[in-house]
Every structure is written in structure tokens, then in C-alpha cells.
Amino acid sequence: MIGAFKVIQTIHDSRNLQLDRDAEYQRRMDDKLNINIERQHGDIRATELRIQQIYDKFLSETQETLRKSTEDLTEADLIFLRARTLTTIEQVDPKRKVYLIELLYDSRLLYVSEYVGNMNYRSVDLEGVDLSNCEFGRSNRGDTMKMMNLNGIRLSRAFLRNSSFKHVNLIGSTFEHCDLTGTNFTDKQ
């Protein structure tokens, strides 16, 4: 009888040890998963911070040039803006790419000369810029739809693959020799 009890006790202890090992293994796996999730969140925050710093640097380095009227811009100013813009756009996310294009547009640096009505108009040449996967336009904000205005914008030889121009006014705009594969122009004006 004592022998049978010992066997049962040994089997029970063995099961308990296995359950303890399984529980410890699961705790280690959960800890590894939590550490990986925290690391990913940290990486995302670091990437977001780096992108924002690049964007802020662009703004600080170009603010004086952007304040000039287009007639006062020199060839050197335009070359500088092109270089800074292309370099910055290479390093930022699609959301900030849209912000940069809006900034240059609002600074009257991306218009078609015919749209401006001034044949001496000078614009920044963004040939080769990659604006793929960018979402231009506005989304619903409350009850009203606000359209983004890019009337008269000129983008030549740009990459706009899988970009969206939903809810964008594009009257008088030109996209000469652009790669528009998968680009959405629905709901544009």
C-alpha cells in the first residue's frame, strides 16, 4: 500500500513540476512578447521624432527663402529649395510630404506659369520627387467637406504611384510625364 501511495505521489509531483515548468515557460514567452512590443513602440516613437526633426529642420532652413515673393527669388534660391525639398521628402513619411507640397504651393512656388498669368513666374522644379502613397485632400470634418485647393499646381516627372487626390481642387493643374499608376483622382474638381 505504501508503495502504491509512493507511485501516485511521484506521478502527482511529476505533473506538478511539469505544470510549473509550463507556467514558467509561458511567463518567459509573455515577458519576451512584452519586451518586443515595448521595443517596437520605442522604435516607432524614435522614428516619428526623427522624421519630425527632419521636417522642422527643413522649415527652419527654408523660412527666409519661403517668405520672399517669387519675383525676388534668385536661381540660387530655387536650387537651394529644390535640394532641401528633395532631400527632406526622401526622409519623411507621406503625411509630411503632403505638408511640404502644401507649404510650397501656398508659398506660390509650384504653380503653372499660365495659371499665375505671369510668364516671368519662377517655380521650384521638383522633377523626380517621389510622392507615392500620399493622400492629398481633406476628409470629413463635422458636417462639411473641406476641399484642398491645389488649383494650378505643376508637378512634372514626379512619382505619384498609389497617391490620392480625392477632395482636391485641381483646376488648371498639370502632371506632365508623372507616374500616376494607381493614383486616385475621384471627387476632384
More confident residue, 170 or 3: 170
Q: To 10 degrees, the CA torsion angle through 105, 108, 112, 118? A: 170
Q: What percent of the chain has pLDDT over 90?
A: 49
More confident residue, 188 or 75: 75
Average pLDDT estimate for 66-82: 88
Q: How far is CA 178 from the centre of its chain?
A: 20
pLDDT value for 13: 79
Phi-psi group of 152: left, alpha or beta (phi > 0 → left; psi -120 to 50 → alpha; rest → beta)? left
pLDDT value for 10: 81
pLDDT of 134 strictly over 70: yes
Reported as a single tens digit per residue, the pLDDT across 101-116 is 999 999 888 887 666 5
Confidence class of residue 58 from pLDDT cuts 50, 70 and 90? very high
What residue ranges do the domains of the chain occupy? Answer: 2-169
Confidence class of residue 9 from pLDDT cuts 50, 70 and 90? confident
